[in-house]
Structures are given as C-alpha cells and as structure tokens.
Amino acid sequence: MTASERRWPGHGWLGLGLVIVFWILNWSLSGLRTHWFFFPQWLGYCLTVDALVFLSKGDSLLTRNPKAYVGLFLISAPLWWLFELLNLRLQNWLYLGRQLSLEPDNLFFDSLSFSTVIPAVFGTTELVGTFSWLKRIKSGPKIKPTPVTLWVLFASGWLMLLLLLIWPDIFFGFVWLSLYFIFEPVNHWRGNRTLIQHTGEGDWRPILALWLGCTICGFFWEMWNFYSYPKWTYDVPGLNFWHVFEMPLIGYLGYLPFSLELFALYHLIVGFTGRRTMQDYFRSQSQY
C-alpha cells in the first residue's frame, strides 16, 4: 500500500470520538463517578495515535497484531501497580477525590485506567519513530553490553532501589531509573530485546523516540488531569514549584527514564512468556 492509497482507518474515527466525548465529560462533570471516564478517553488516545502511525507508514501496533495489541493493555495494568506499590513508600503522587484501594470496584477501575499506560507510550513512540528528523540522526556514543557494563548497571539499579526505600525524601527520583538499570541487564542475559544492543552500535534513535513519545503522553496525562476530578497531585520534596498543570516543571524529566523502564519491563514479561517472535513487535524507531 502506497502512501497515497492509505486512508484514515475506522479505529482512528472511534479513537477521535472517544477522546472528544470523554474529554468534555471529564472536564465538565465532577464527582466520584468520573473516574470511569479515564479509560475510554485514553483508549481513544491510543486508537487515534495508532491510526496516525498507520497513516504514516502503513502498519501500526494494532494492525500488525491485534492480539498483541490487547496484550499491551493486559501487561500495562500490573506494571503500573508496581509503581503504586513503590509510591506507598515515596508518597510522591496523591489522589484527590478518590483513594486507590483493593476493594473490588476500585481495583477494577484503577487497573482499567492503568492498562492504557503502555499502549499510549508505545503507540506515541512509534509515531515519533516516523518523523523524518529522527531518521536523519547519525551515530552517537557507543555503550556496549560488556560484562562490566551490565554488572555495573545491575548493581547500580539495586543500590538506587535501596536508597529510595531508605531515604525516599532524598532519592525519590530513582524510582524512574532503578528498575531499568536492574532489568536491562537481566533482559540481555536472558536473550530478550534490549536498548543497549542499539547503543552498542551507536544508534540512540530508539531511546530518543521513547523519550519523546513518553513525554508527549506525559503532557496529555497532566493536561487532561488538571481540570478533572478525581485527580492526582504531586508532593515532590524541594521541587514543588514552576508547575505545568499539577506537575512541577522539572518533574517532566522523569518521563524520560520512565519510558526506558516500560521498555525493559515489557520485554522481560514477553521473554518469560516464551513468545520470542514478540520481541520485535514494538518498534521504537521506524527502521525496525
């Protein structure tokens, strides 16, 4: 299919409709029931971005493998619960109007909302991967997966995790990097897909695409959250200033390493399923 033959796909129209309808509802209504609207609004975002990717290059996460696309949602929910577990110690983000709990109703709707994180980030990353300026980037510094490098990353990750649990007011930022440092070497040792295999060749485009893709998602997360209720707010020691929506400006830097953690955790889980053919399902740069 040539570029001129591509048409805006049906799931793109559905996505745009969901975004518009539930954006209006989220901002115009207030009360506990509006937490139901988070999932359809972000499902709309995911479908819209996927349609943009398809329009740009002729395939996308959804069109390449619909079952694997559903799998992104299934994997995403427990992964974000891991961050909620760490936040019990950190208390860096708080929910107003409705607290997270393990009650069946809350657990279901919270998990449904969390299920959109990975599809949104990976879909937006694939969209960034179609940008011509990204394709033109030349080789950068080479960080190769040598035994020393991998063990340094692994040990550093566990040290970061330990420090943030012992002194959360000081080392809270490590929550967005420690898991990547831990699981990137594990993925390499297990033969799973890694980012260091690309940096070993001096190719930083997959990482740049992830960084920008996740930051774009972060902007929409924070923007749509701002006038919603229930909503989340932040309590970041020493950094609660220069807010863009509820997020302190410097907090947006956290989306960069967070994207790497999502990549590592996703491929770790895919690796454990034994479906090696899924290792290249997500394409963080359109070359692959």
Task: Work out the percent of the chain whose per-residue pLDDT is above 90.
Answer: 77
- Give the pLDDT mean for 165-180: 97
Tell me how far apart the alpha carbons of residues 127 and 56 are, in angstroms, rounded to a whole number.
8
pLDDT score at 82: 96
The structure's pTM equals 0.94
Q: Assign 248 to helix, strand or coil.
A: strand
- Give the pLDDT mean for 113-118: 97
* Least confident segment among 3-12, 106-115, 165-174: 3-12
The three-point CA angle 255-45-4 to 5° equals 110
Q: Which helix (H) or strand (E) holds 138?
A: none
Question: Per-residue pLDDT tens for 14-70?
Answer: 999 999 999 999 999 876 667 789 999 999 999 999 999 999 999 999 999 999 999
How far CA 183 is from CA of 7, 34, 110, 204, in Å, comes to 40, 36, 25, 19
Tell me how far apart the alpha carbons of residues 23 and 178 are, in angstroms, rounded to a whole number.
34
pLDDT score at 183: 98
Q: Assign 234 to helix, strand or coil.
A: strand
> What is the residue-averaged pLDDT of the chain?
91
pLDDT at 286 > cutoff 70: no
pLDDT score at 288: 42
Question: Per-residue pLDDT tens for 218-233?
Answer: 999 999 999 998 899 9
pLDDT score at 138: 83
pLDDT score at 236: 85
| Residues 106, 72 contacting (CB under 8 angstroms) | no
pLDDT score at 239: 81
| Residues 126, 61 contacting (CB under 8 angstroms) | yes
**pLDDT confidence of 270, banded at 50, 70, 90?**
very high
Cβ neighbour number for residue 51 with a 10 Å cutoff:
24
Task: Work out the percent of the chain whose per-residue pLDDT is above 70.
Answer: 92
Tell me how far apart the alpha carbons of residues 246 and 144 are, in angstroms, rounded to a whole number.
38
pLDDT at 98 > cutoff 80: no
Query: What dihedral angle (degrees, nearest 10) is formed by the CA atoms of 221, 226, 229, 235?
Result: 90
Q: Is the peptide bond before 147 cis (omega within 30 degrees of 0)?
A: no
pLDDT score at 27: 92
Tell me how far apart the alpha carbons of residues 210 and 205 are, in angstroms, rounded to a whole number.
9
Listed in order, strand segments (DSSP E) in 4-162 are 93-96
